[in-house]
Amino acid sequence: MLRVGLTGGIGSGKSEVARRLAGHGAVLIDADVAARKVVEPGSAGLARIAEAFGDSVLRPDGSLNRERLGEIVFADPGLRAKLNEIVHPLVREWMAAAERAAVQAAAPPGPVIVHDVPLLAESRGKAGFDVVIVVDAPPELQVERLVGLRGMAEDQARARLAAQASREQRLAVADVVIDNSGSLPDLDRRVAEVWADLERRLAG
């Protein structure tokens, strides 16, 4: 098995890279999917969030009101840390269980497992990964994409970028950098090169 951490700032094109790696045969384990799963109605995670932040963070159907929770925690770093203390360990457990299932199902030499972790540079760095891949794009291009493709206001896009690790912090944890400032065919070629490298590492 080869355990890969994949990260990149908002608007870098990390999801495009994740899709391409999965297309080449990687097993993709997405931290955002895990974060939704561990707070589904009836879960221990959701019960602990309601206990910590009050019933106002629940919708009438018992599901998590993410917008309301966001309003509460983003205004207060202490409360954001409290939320992370509840959610992050559950996310790691969910991802570890998904990884064990993938390893059991794979033939030797085992799978290339890509953990898609948006906040890898902020939260855990290289810990536990054989290789860390960073998808990189210039900040101005990230803003352009967020405004053009996601319909964000420019000041909102810049605020989202400022709330994440800096480009330098992400590049500092990278073993492999995928430059995504060019065309989609350029990205296809670079991902194919990276995949060939991952296969060599797995075989070696």
Per-residue pLDDT tens over the stretch 79-105: 989 999 999 899 989 999 999 999 999
- What percent of the chain has a predicted confidence (pLDDT) above 70? 100
Using alpha carbons, list the distances in angstroms from residue 123 to 44, 47, 119.
Answer: 22, 24, 6
Residue 119 has pLDDT above 90, yes or no: no
Same domain for 88 and 4?
A: no
pTM: 0.86
Give just the sign of the alpha carbon dihedral 181, 186, 187, 189: negative
pLDDT tens-digit series, residues 32-79:
999 999 999 999 999 999 999 999 999 999 999 999 998 888 778 899
Same domain for 180 and 116?
A: yes
Confidence tier at 160 by pLDDT (50, 70, 90): confident
Report how far apart the first and last C-alpha atoms of the chain are (Å, whole number): 11
Residue 63 sits in a domain whose CATH number is 3.40.50.300
Same domain for 20 and 54?
A: no
Residue 40 belongs to domain spanning: 33-109
Instruction: Among 70, 89, 109, give the residue marking a domain's end.
Output: 109
The β-bridge relationship of strands 176-179 and 131-136 is parallel
Q: What's the domain count of the chain?
A: 2
Pull the structure tokens for residue 31.
């931290």
Residue 125 has pLDDT above 90, yes or no: no
Q: Which residue do the tokens 């999917």 mark?
A: 33
Same domain for 100 and 118?
A: no
C-alpha 167/C-alpha 134 separation (Å) is: 10
Pull the structure tokens for residue 170.
């992400």
Same domain for 204 and 122?
A: yes
Same domain for 115 and 204?
A: yes
Q: Beta partners for 64?
A: 58
pLDDT the model gives residue 177: 98
Average pLDDT, the chain: 93
Instruction: Among 68, 93, 109, give the residue marking a domain's end.
Output: 109
